[in-house]
Amino acid sequence: MVFAKAGSFLQIFNFYIEIACNGMFGVGNDGLINPPDPNRYFKLVASEIVVYDQNALDLRSDMEVLVGVAKELPTDSQISADALFAANEIVNTVHVGNPQSLEEAKRVSWKFFESRKGDFVGDHIITAIGNCHIDTAWLWPFDETKRKVARSWSRQIGLMNEYPDFTFAASQAQQFEWLKLLYPKLFQLVQEKSLAGQFIPIGGTWVEMDCNLPSGESLCRQFLYGQTFYEQNFGKRCNVFWLPDTFGYSAQLPQIVKESGLKYFFTQKLSWNNINKFPHTTFNWIGLDGTPVLTHFSPADTYTAQADVKDVTFMVKNNKDKGYTNKSLLVYGNGDGGGGPLKSMLERIERMKNVKGMPATIKHGDPTKFYEELETTSRDLASWKGELYFELHRGTYTSQAKTKKYNRTCERLLQTAEKLSSIALNYGKKVKGFNYSKTEFDRLWKLVLLNQFHDVLPGSSIGLVYKDANKFHEDVISSSSQIQDSAFTSLVSSLYLKDDGDVALVVFNPTSWKRSSELIEFDIAELKSPQMKSYFNQLQQTNVVQMSKNEKLLAIVENIPGYGVKSYSLQELPNGFKPVSVRFKNAVDNHVFVDDSNEYHIVEPISRPENAGSADVELVIIETAFFKASFDWHGRLHSLVDVLCDDREVIPKNGVGNVFKFFEDMPLFWDAWDVEIYHLEKHWDAPVGEMIAEEYGPLRVVMKVEHQISSTSKIIQRIIISAVSPVIEFDTTVEWNENRKLLKVEFPVDIMCDFATYETQFGYIQRPTHYNTSWDMARFEVCAHKFVDFSEHGYGVALFNDCKYGHSVKDNLMRITLLKSAKAPDFNADVGVHRFRYGLHAHKGNFHSSNVVQLAAEFNTPIMTSFAPISKPFDVRYFSLPENTSIVLDTVKPAEDFAQSGDIVLRFYESLGGRGRVKVETFMLFKSAWICNVMEDKISKLEIGASEEGTGSQFEIEFTPFKIVSVRLGDL
């Protein structure tokens, strides 16, 4: 197009128009969160290039502020009266089609603003920061977000050129990386504006992640990758953890924030609470370990404020801590779908600056400087200890179950792959055949972190998003499994192998403690060589193995060292071994197994007798060395007797456990997001099916039960009881196709306590089991990771899971929410086949004296096995901690600069709320040990010496309750 200015030469400009077939909030019909309509059409009505009438544009902004002052400030105030008078006079002055009248009207508004302008500072000071919150995926796929970022941020750069005081903050390093890759020239402009102090990268994380569901290590990686990107591309790390929109905040976040080099925290989401109003605006948030972080909730109660008079007056009125500070942060600009501040917003801010009579002074500013001033000038701020529980969107613990299972799987595989890689890279510098690729680990972690965005992992996006998310997760699972297997194979090959040696089972334990007994299962197809097949044939002639239903070999291994590799010959059963026995109630001669000179054999297959309804055969009783469990023929648990604790009964009188229940799930609005408290009032037992015995022991018994729970949904469950495990495992497959129903499983237990213990990242949270107050009642559905424990003095019961997060304990009833069936924004959410596991464990002592933390980790972390010919037995411990310690070595990884330093990083945490010193030994030789932070910066040097065996290294670290400690090991 050709343009000419008066008195200038013709100029040629090229305009590019990008059109996307969606609205700002996707393509749903008749409502914000409805599923996309593929048949929805959009029509481009007009596209105009205009030249504004500057007087008209200025007058519009003048009137917006004048009318706002007249409406929002007290009508008996002088400024309100003056604003109303001026606005009325402007209306009477303006005549359509008469440009001169606009100039006359401008003089009226100019007189109002000039008469109230000054250098004074108002009673309240508001720092305004522009932003355009862009959901990395939500009602649109990831690829649309890439375009949203470019469109939104380019507009802001244009506004920065026009308004030199304008400041704009953007979070999510992932979005910056997309911009750098797809729009490099625009990214360069962002860097230039960042140097000028106008475009402010903020937040410190890879994406604005969910904070309930990711593991502790995933939260650390969010900061590690985010802060690293900002430092490499903008020359500095962030100081403000910026997370305005997520569905609750973990109690360990303050510690992780500080360990990642940030000092401050911003959000506003708890203003959405639907039961209790959060009592603070500015306060010190105290984490699980006691770490404080200065926190500010914008009293505008939004991150998409419009920068008008209403925002200013509401902020001052709504600030709950005016007695302790007179400062607030206004976060304005169109968001969720991007866009950001408009020219009109900036014009309103310009007019509201230092206007005498306004309730606050407003100014553009940098969030970091805002917090620094807040820290310096505030006084006697209140403190809030523990999690910031969000009293809404409780359904996000359950929606899109496949994504949640994939996430847990990816986290485990990546960490195990890193552990084995670290060992393979450092074990005597002699492991051959393993190639470490930091580039690939970075790619995989970034995919996992991307999917932890706060509308993806929680399950609140459209179906198209989950097609992408599933591909990303499956990519991670495939690649990390290959890395893990390659590292393990290379590690095994470096040990005492001999081509003509005795065949042995080689086991790697990726947890930090010794596992006393483990029932392993492996595919006999792996035994390919004649030597291996001969070994297997010999095993079959003994009583130490069992064939499973799917033709896999079962065997018991004992005393597997933590972070160690050990060989087993599998020649005999453990000392004192007791097989699993099965009988009918009151039919003591009807055992499935008979012990005849240590030979165990089947007496008869078990199936429901014809007279199963009679009292003497209504239950199937399965007994191990740990417990005696009684099931009815529908797989429901009527009794659980702890034979190690004076035959303590776990199930209360007339109680039945492992009961599946339907709950009607009809949220008020946020379908995939919410589970409302009234859902607890309408529920019913799911229909039941028949149980049969699928495997008969002696090492393991598997009872299979099929429930047709509706005309469209079915459960196939295998109740698995091992001779060497104190945990009853429920391996469950559900064909699920329901409409707005929840599926839960419940266990009543004979325990009385006012609180239950729920695992969170790097620790646990205790929550009430009663509804005494509205704050207690609001926690009717809560998040837990791998376990929930419910204990009284001397005894307790724990539930484990491998991918579930929604839980509740009310009075003595423990429940896990298994599946949800929302219809918006994904109409087919959770329709399909789901497989998951949960476990029941009764234990002597309360939670702190139990091994629940250990068993829950083992439930989620399988050992690795391989068969190999060896020259002699071996038992190699790569890292060792004292037994019965509450310290968990959670992460072993190559340092970020491994290519230069050769260092590895260990991350420990204290799991039970205790303190002390712990000695850590490693089979590998290191010359230096440093305490470091999440960013792997060296903080303080530790004394390191030779291990007691003289073949490796050892050092000591000090712990306080729930402390996360990272240690960097190297040669310098």
Name which of 515, 519, 516, 912 is nearest 729 in CA terms. Answer: 519
Q: Are strands 864-870 and 497-509 parallel, antiparallel or unpaired?
A: antiparallel
**How do 741-748 and 832-844 pair as beta strands?**
unpaired
How far is the C-alpha of 630 from the C-alpha of 627, rounded, in Å?
A: 10
Residues 196 and 163: their CA atoms lie apart, in Å, by 13
Residue 944's contacts (CB-CB under 8 Å, 6 or more residues apart) are: 926, 927, 928, 929, 953, 954, 955
Active site residue 731: no
CA dist., res. 213 & res. 878, Å (int) = 30
Nearest Cα to 326, choosing from 369, 377, 275, 279? 377
CA atoms within 13 A on the CB side of 76: 0
DSSP 509: E
Amino acid in position 803: C
Three-state SS for 285-303 is EECCCCCEEEEEECCCCCC
Rg of the chain on CA atoms, in Å: 32
The DSSP 8-state label assigned to residue 581 in this structure reads E
DSSP assignment of 607-647 equals: ---TTTTSGGGSEEEEE-SSEEEEEETTS-EEEEEETTTTT
Amino acid at 552: K
Nearest-angstrom CA–CA distance, 76 and 307 = 24
DSSP annotation string for 903-940: -EEEEEEE-SS--EEEEEEESS--SEEEEE-TT--EEE
Q: Which one is catalytic: 245, 289, 455, 890?
A: 245
Q: Which residue has the tokens 């191990």?
A: 624
Q: What are 266's two structure tokens?
A: 């911003």
* CA–centroid distance for 883 within its chain: 30
Compute the distance between CA of residue 451 and CA of residue 463 in angstroms, rounded to an integer.
14
| Geometric angle at alpha carbon 952, from 946 and 957, rounded to 5° | 65
In whole angstroms, give the CA distance from residue 461 to residue 862: 31
Q: Which active-site residues does the annotation give?
A: 245
